[in-house]
Amino acid sequence: MEAILTALADPARWRLVCLLAERPRSVGVLAQLAEARQPQTTKHLQTLERAGIVTSQRTGQRRIYALRAAPLRDLAAVLGRLADTVEVDGGPRATYDRYGIGLRTERLAADAPGWADGRSFGFQRSLAGGPEQVWRHLTEASLLARWWTPDGLRVSELLFEAREGGRIVHEYRDAEDADGSDAVAGRAAGVVEEVRPGERLAYRLSPLLPDGGPAFTALVDFGLRPTGAGTDLDVQWRITDSTVDSADFIAGIEIGFGQSLDKLAAALAADAPDTDDTPVDARSTT
């Protein structure tokens, strides 16, 4: 496939492919129609033939070239699959577009300090596991690191002191940035305000701007309620001290933290024990 793409990338060769799509033609005629010298045209045709895009045969003193359809159909199929991947409902590109809409909206609104103060965001999830297990995932660094980032990111530094007045440091990078050479995707600092194990956790968290200053401060409040199937989690964000430069961060709260909570739900579901006590041999296989 790379050979085909390389061969088709040259405008002169692409012109020859378009001419050959109409009908097979000789080198001399192709050179005339392409308004090119015959030796150059021959070299281009040889490149296309090596890539499998065209075939040729000698007729008398002329060499006739013809276009092969199969490689073009193969390329079209690959490109079609790529397009389908991009356009999958709810996929990364759809999220990118949603975030782009939010960026434009928030940037227009960010006209003065305090522009987003009082804004709130609410999230609810029904989680597997009891309040004690959920609490551990909210407060223990090793478990927090499993979910506390949006999709495509990884925790690169984390400090969470689960006590009133405890410090929070949260840094994350691109999940594919294995050596840490890319720029930090985000960094935040905060302080824990209320700790009621298994019931309520509240802290203040400030995403940091490139100069180290806070973009805004969010009061984040987690409420846990036991249910027969696990735990209902209610999370409220309230924005204060918003700067003009906080628009990009605020635009990502709904999507980013929502993705984080989905990862939390998945982590808890993966850890949940199998509650089906039916012997394996007696379970239905239909």
Query: pLDDT for 188-246, tens place per residue?
Result: 999 999 999 999 999 999 999 999 999 999 999 999 999 999 999 999 999 999 999 99
Distance between first and last Cα of the chain: 42
Query: Tokens 């223990």 belong to which residue?
Result: 140
Task: Write down the CATH number for the domain with range 2-77.
Answer: 1.10.10.10
User: Where is pLDDT greater, at 275 or 105?
Assistant: 105
List pLDDT tens digits, range 91-117: 889 999 999 999 999 999 999 999 999
Percent of the chain exceeding pLDDT 70 equals 95
Predicted pLDDT at 18: 97
Confidence of residue 274 (pLDDT cuts 50, 70, 90): low
Considering the chain, tell me which residue range(s) the CATH 3.30.530.20 domain(s) occupy: 112-271
pLDDT bin (cut points 50, 70, 90) of residue 39 is very high
Report the chain's mean pLDDT, rounded to a whole number: 93
Contact between 203 and 168 (Cβ < 8 Å): yes
The two tokens of residue 76 are 């079209």
Per-residue pLDDT, 271: 87
Q: What is the CATH number that goes with domain 112-271?
A: 3.30.530.20
Nearest-angstrom CA–CA distance, 161 and 165 = 8
263 against 271, higher pLDDT = 263
- Mean pLDDT across 29-34: 96
Q: Quickly state the pLDDT bin for 72 (edges 50, 70, 90).
A: very high
Of 17-21, 231-235, 238-242, 273-277, the poorest mean pLDDT is in: 273-277
Angle among Cα 171, 176, 182 to the nearest 5 degrees reads 60
Q: Which DSSP symbol is given to 250? A: H
pLDDT digits (tens, 9 = 90+) for 148-168: 999 999 999 999 999 999 999
Confidence label for 66 from pLDDT (cuts 50, 70 and 90): very high
Query: Are 16 and 9 in contact, with CB atoms under 8 Å apart?
Result: no
CATH 1.10.10.10 domain position(s) in the chain: 2-77
Q: What is the pTM of this model?
A: 0.80
Average pLDDT over residues 120-134: 97
DSSP secondary structure of 85-132: HHT-TTSHHHHHHHHHHHHHHHHHH--STTTTTT-EEEEEEEEES-HH
What percentage of the chain has pLDDT greater than the value 90?
89
